[in-house]
Amino acid sequence: MTAKIIDGKSFAEGLRGRIAEHVGRLKQDHGITPGLAVVIVGHDPASQVYVTNKAKQTAEVGMASLKHELPEDTSQEALLALVQALNNDPAVHGILVQMPLPAQIDPVRVIETIAPEKDVDCFTPANVGKVQIGLPGPVSCTPLGCLMLLRDQLGSLAGLNAVIVGRSNLVGKPMAQLLLRENCTVTVAHSKTQNLADVVRQADIVIAAVGRPQMIKGEWIKSGATVIDVGINRIDAPERGDGKTRLVGDVAYAEASKIAGAITPVPGGVGPMTIACLLANTVTTACLINGLTPPSDLTA
Ligand code: GUN
């Protein structure tokens, strides 16, 4: 079998198109322009690229994009004061503080300061709890993107065996909650799981979010399974002969794509969905803050 390649780039484009339509209606019918504030502290090059892309795509769907760049030596008090000001700003419906933060700042304090109704990363304990019990609100961006791709690929997920490899707060744990809500039978595996290959072989759906390049081998995949690769790992690529590196996922793609039914590539799979879902969450929070029902096609 040769797997169908799940084109996250094109799905994300379509999703951004739907988001732009919802934004247009919010403006026209309710006089609301959803606003997303992105805060970056310091000059981490990868973070700079992410934040620039987030700001650009926010503006492209017609939202207000507010970027705050703070110096590397910013104090915790100064950052918390900015977050408080954004909490109180009625033009702001979403607040994202780019991680990681410099060592002098405690990320937990920052997350706890973000108003849950504006927490478009779904990092605050209040929103994590809402996802768990199925209340409306923002949903962790990468897991939401994975869920949208899975629904598009498979329709109903009820009764399917889902194995998530990785138990991070950012991906593994919220992904498990979302798949449980879809009536999957969910296993969360991790670095200490015994016989990981045999666990993965049971899966109709594999979510690879372990952060180790090409760790999940083709022979671990059940024939016809749907494989969602969240990993983004940069590795040496001597075969290129030009000294450059290349990006790979957590799945050994060449092997797995001969056995899986469908698979996301890296790059071009889950990655583009994460920012699109951040924008989707900003529409959701803008609606909820204004007492409107959020669009059902933008959430879990
Ligand atoms: N750094 C890397 N990914 C993310 C993310 O999804 N949200 C935030 N706030 N920081 C990040």
Reduce the DSSP state of residue 37 to 3 states and report it: strand
DSSP 207: E
Query: What is the sign, positive or negative, of the torsion defined by CA atoms of 246, 251, 255, 259?
Result: negative
Nearest CA to ligand 1 atom 11: 99
For ligand 1, whether the C-beta of 171 sits within 6 Å is no
Q: What is the pLDDT of residue 34?
A: 98
Give tens-digit pLDDT for 227-267. 999 999 999 999 999 999 999 999 999 999 999 999 999 99
Whether 29 is a known active-site residue: answer: no
Atom of ligand 1 nearest to the CA of 142: 6
The catalytically annotated residue of 57, 118, 121, 173 is: 121
Topology, domain 32-116: Rossmann fold (3.40.50)
CA 99 to chain centre: 13
Q: Which residues, given as ranges, of the chain have pLDDT below 50?
A: none
Domain boundaries, the chain: 32-116, 141-271
Q: Rounded CA gap, 107 and 185, in Å? A: 33
Ligand 1 centroid to residue 115 C-alpha, Å: 17
Q: What is the pLDDT of residue 1?
A: 76
The catalytically annotated residue of 57, 98, 177, 214 is: 98
Q: What single letter denotes the amino acid at residue 89?
A: D
Nearest CA to ligand 1 atom 3: 99
Ligand 1 centroid to residue 193 C-alpha, Å: 27
Reduce the DSSP state of residue 42 to 3 states and report it: coil
H or E element at residue 13: helix 8-30
DSSP 265: -
Q: Which of 50, 120, 168 best tests ligand 1's pocket when mutated (most atoms within 8 Å of CB)? A: 50
Residues paired with residue 35 on neighbouring β-strands, in sequence order: 64
| Residue 249, CA distances (Å) to 5, 26, 70, 116 in order | 14, 37, 32, 32
Q: Rounded CA gap, 85 and 12, in Å? A: 31
For residue 153, give both structure tokens: 């690929």
Whether 98 is a known active-site residue: answer: yes
Whether 121 is a known active-site residue: answer: yes
Q: What is the pLDDT of residue 109?
A: 98
For residue 69, give both structure tokens: 């760049």
Q: What is the pLDDT of residue 79?
A: 98
For residue 106, give both structure tokens: 């405690």
Nearest CA to ligand 1 atom 2: 99
Atom of ligand 1 nearest to the CA of 97: 9
For residue 295, give both structure tokens: 């669009």
Q: Which of 40, 114, 170 best tests ligand 1's pocket when mutated (most atoms within 8 Å of CB)? A: 170
For ligand 1, whether the C-beta of 277 sits within 6 Å is no
Q: What is the pLDDT of residue 284?
A: 98
Q: What single letter denotes the amino acid at residue 222?
A: K
Q: What single letter denotes the amino acid at residue 230?
A: V
CATH of domain 141-271: 3.40.50.720
